Structure 1
Amino acid sequence: MKSRYWYQALWAITGMGCVALASAQGIPADQWTEQERQFVQNARNLFQQQGLVYGDEQAASAVQQMRQKAQSTPVPAGVPETDWTPQEREYVKTVREQYQASGMALTQEQAQVMVQSMRNKLAQLMGSVGALQAASQLRGQPISPVSVPGSTGGAAVASAQNAALTEEQITQTLAAWPAKPEQLSFSARKDGFDINGQPVLDPEGRISSYATDAVGGAVTYMVQSSRGMSVKSLSAADPSRKLVLATGRQGPNGWEVVTSTGQQLSGQTLSVLSDGFLVGRETAAFRYKAGQGVSNIAIPSGYFLAPLQRGHVGATGFVLLEKEGATGTDSLSKLAANLQSIGTILGTNRTDDFALMDIQTRKLYPLNISATGKNVNVHSQCRRKNSFVNECAQMQSFEALYNAQGMKNSQHYYWLVHWLNTPAGPVALTLEDGQANLYLTDLRTGRKVVALNRTLGIADWDAIQNSDGTVALRGKLAFEWKEIPDVASLLQGAQ
């Protein structure tokens, strides 16, 4: 069955010839230009495939009609072949082969106009990038032409929507963005976030998560809508400049993600990084870094990737791992875990259920944090026994960041581990030893010092990254807050 393309082309050529026959004698063949001869040859090939004959008189009349139309229709400007990118040359080569397979030829003028059309289309899709820069972000894809180009330079309309980017082109785009501001601060909001006090929103959908690097200036966020999700890179100096790094959708078996370069990834978890994103499975992780592509992260035996990564993975190069079997489901395992947790609080034993791992070297930094604190308990079917005690028939236990009263589950590992990049290098802040000691670790050297201490436990704490990249620390000791303006001073004092 012939495609709609052939019938449209045949109708167009036949109609042109019929109109010309009714109005003029035509242009003799010895006066045709090379492009007009090629047009007539293409038309005859089409007619022959339909079992029809394209006569000389009809061809002469069609040529005259084309000349008359050319006088009233401006010729679209094309891109000279000397200005084509390697990807555009490959694309034109593919289209020429498709034309030849159909018994047709693509003229040089038509190819130039086609390249210009592709550049215009891509420039519209990437509104924040100039047309010349957008042209460098084309990558050839086998796309079938949908209209017949004429000798006057009519473009072979081709779809640029299926064009993919290369990592080199992504690097060039990000490098062309303005440098980060000298003072750079971020703050969260219900939908989106603020950069130096200016709100960042996305009309495509709700910004569900974001990651930043106050030192390097990289910003990446995830926007979710009914159509799925998109991961976008953003210029901290000019938030109107955005670049889609990947799209995907979450299904019953996890995440299915496709990068803008065409790389497909799948896994149970998806975390946004300041320079890309991280897709995790139980025994492996896959990091996509904008401009560099996908790298594999092998998880050491006995660990799996923690589903929630609070720290700056992209900026520091560290991920949080959880020990396998740290929280059993049977009664004996729960009893052993509870006894171990009590021992951790009393300081009689270590649990090390979590560890920070250097992605490059796979070196582990064990953390004396129990995995049993992940769960919260919800009681039901309760009756009052006295003024102080209720008896409940049912209890459900499940992992949660917040308890039934809406307060933070302060024993969940997400609130106990945080790691950031600073001008002096990456550091980790970890609340360990039954929440009695808040440690500061230099992730370059492994030096570990106590930042805050309270035997009965630190009730709450937070790390704030200042606009110059330094990190301040606040910790609640009993009824008062203690602050450390710059944690780097603790490491310097420990030398």
Structure 2
Amino acid sequence: MYKKVLYPSLLAISVSVLSGCGTTPEELAMQKEMQQAFINKLKGSTLTSVIPQAQQHQQQKVEKPEVVISESELLAQKENVDQTGGPATFMREKDGILINGSMFHDYEGEVANLGADRLTGQFTYAIENFDGTFTLKYSKAGSSEGAVKLATVTKDNDSFKVKTVTGKSFTGTSVTPTSDGFIVGRAGSAFRYVIGSNNVKSISILDGYHIAKHQNGDVASTNFILLEKDKTKNNDPLTGLFESTKSLGNTLGFNKVDDYILLNINDSTIVPLDVSISGKNVAEHSNCRSKGLYNECDNVSFKESLYRKNGFKNNSHYYWAIDWINTPSGPLAFYKTSKKVKVVDINKKQVHTVFSRTLGVNEFILIEKHDGTVAVKAQLGFSHEQVDNIESFISANKEEIEPMQQLGS
């Protein structure tokens, strides 16, 4: 800037100095050449000081292009991961995810969610980054290769934006990892992305339901996804009273509910599950005072939680109360009521009672074995019971069999 301002004055001084002497034609010609040479030199030095600054300013405005790979390249990375590793057990803990009994960690952030196929060990998981974004990655239990990045997820209030490394973009209100990709849900619809596929599958969601936040079963291997009933928008106190009475009746075993259903993403088969939505909430008390053997609290509020305040599982939460798998004889769905553990043979549309206890069932888990059989283990009070082969149990069972529940029944 200063060189540009001083340029005319410097030029004038140089001209006056160079023209101060010399009167012959030869001397005048020499003076003229010297003047022109000085002017050219002065212009050159000024321009060279200005041009690099302008070029540097332009370079600062150029953003680094985003690196995008093809679906075939991403699929090749996945297949490289799949060359090693195998079947695994996946268990959610309060501090993270257990894979084959060991805590799974990712150096980039905390594991927030996952979708896994227990028979193959393949899984996709979401990690929460320190800047508030999420990263979706694919891996396989026991693989010698590192995880493969699939997408970046940003959250804006209740909306998610997903951008895959292959350039695909999704927006929705939920993101569900599956063992081979992920599903993005919206009101009334969802979109399934499979690693390596150029096509995105559209899924119709049943009216009045939305994709449940937590999925215990794997959508990719079973083709079933868990839906949760929408909240009642009516603020009528009588409606609230009716819902509370209905929930209490379900807890006591007097009536059934359809707050959760499994939906087949290919043929739209619906499997209602007799699990109440109220079970996902835990009570939080505040303004409490000790009264010796108990506390007296002024306020109580309820919020969804997989765990109770003491760190134990909230076994009434639908995540612990519902599971589903694929077997050689077809898909099976499991759910826990207050007093029973039941299995739904979806193909035969029959429900079998696996465990029953008048005083209540604490919890159950599925154990998928390397030979393809599935065991069911339940805690009944202080004791544990186990059915070693659920398919054999269903084939031999002749008692406590009922038709599969119908929606709205």
3-state SS of paired residue (1:381): strand
1:258-299 Cα shifts (integer Å, max 9, x gaps): 012211112222222111112223432222111224222211
Rate the CA distance shift 1:436–1:192 in 2: closer, same or farther, 3 A: closer
Give the partner amino acid of 1:380: S
Which residue is equivalent to 1:451? 354
Partner of 1:212: 116
Supply the AA of the counterpart residue of 2:345. D
1:478 match: 381
Q: Contact (CA 8 Å) 1:310, 1:418: kept in 2 or not?
A: yes
Where do 5+ consecutive residues of structure 1 fail to align? 1-145, 147-158
After the TM superposition, which residues 357-372 of structure 1 pair with which residues of structure 2 at under 5 Å, given as runs?
A: 357-372=263-278
Give the structure with the larger helix fraction.
1
Quote how far apart the aligned CAs of 1:444 are: 4.1
In the other structure, the counterpart of 1:261 is 166
| Structure 1 equivalent of residue 152 of structure 2 | 247
User: Is the contact between residue 257 and residue 276 of structure 2 (CA under 8 Å) also seen in structure 1?
Assistant: yes
Of structures 1 and 2, the one with the larger relative CO (CA 8 A, separation 6+) is: 2
Task: Return the alpha-carbon distance in structure 2 between the equivalents of residues 277 and 171 of structure 1.
Answer: 15
The answer to whether structure 1 residue 407 and structure 2 residue 303 are counterparts is no
The alignment status of 1:352 with 2:224, answered yes or no, reads no
Give identity over the alignment, percent: 31
Structure 1 CA distance, aligned partners of 2:90 and 2:213? 24
User: What code does the residue aligned with 2:126 have?
Assistant: M
Summarize the Cα distance change of 1:272–1:183 in structure 2 as closer, same or farther, 3 Å threshold: closer
Would you say the 8 A contact 2:85–2:140 is kept in 1? no
**Matched ranges for 1:31-430 at <5 A:** 162-175=66-79, 177-179=81-83, 184-186=88-90, 190=95, 193-194=98-99, 201-227=105-131, 228-236=133-141, 238-292=143-197, 293-325=199-231, 331-383=237-289, 391-430=296-335
Measured in 2, the distance between the counterparts of 1:216 and 1:425 equals 17
- Specify the SS of the correspondent of 1:162: coil
Structure 2 partner of 1:22:
none
Q: 1:238 to 1:376 in 2, by over 3 A?
A: closer
Mapped partners of 1:212, 1:438: distance in 2: 23
1: CA distance, partners of 2:252 / 2:140: 48
Q: Which amino acid aligns with 1:206?
A: E
Assess if the C-alpha contact under 8 Å between 2:84 and 2:144 holds in 1: no
Letter in 2 for 1:170: L
Task: Provide the C-alpha distance between the structure 2 equivalents of 1:295 and 1:466, rounded to a whole number of angstroms.
Answer: 31
Please provide the CA RMSD for this pair: 3.1
TM-score scaled to structure 1, two decimals? 0.60
Letter in 2 for 1:263: K
Residue 200 of structure 2 aligns to a residue whose secondary structure is strand
In the TM superposition, what is the alpha-carbon distance from 1:311 to its structure 2 partner? 1.9
- Gap change, CA 1:329 and 1:388, over 3 Å in 2: farther
Q: 1:399 to 1:332 in 2, by over 3 A?
A: farther
**CA-to-partner distance for each residue in 1:9-49, whole Å, 9 max, x for gaps?**
xxxxxxxxxxxxxxxxxxxxxxxxxxxxxxxxxxxxxxxxx
The structure-2 alpha-carbon separation of the partners of 1:210 and 1:330, relative to structure 1 and needing over 3 Å to count, comes to same
Q: Which structure: larger Rg?
A: 2
Q: Per-residue displacement from partner, 1:46-82 (whole Å, max 9, x unpaired)?
A: xxxxxxxxxxxxxxxxxxxxxxxxxxxxxxxxxxxxx
SS, match of residue 338 in structure 1: helix
Counterpart residue type for residue 490 of structure 1? F
Gaps of 5+ in 2: 1-58, 399-409
The TM-score, its normalising length taken from structure 2, stands at 0.71
SS in 1 for 2:349: coil
Deviations 1:436-494 (A, max 9, x none): 22111234443321111123321222223334453322212232111122322222324
Cα distance change, pair 463–318 in 1 and its aligned pair in 2 (3 A): same
Paired residue secondary structure (1:232)? strand
Conservation of the 8 A alpha-carbon contact between 1:283 and 1:305: no
Structure (1/2) with the larger strand percentage: 2
Q: 1:448 to 1:327 in 2, by over 3 A?
A: farther
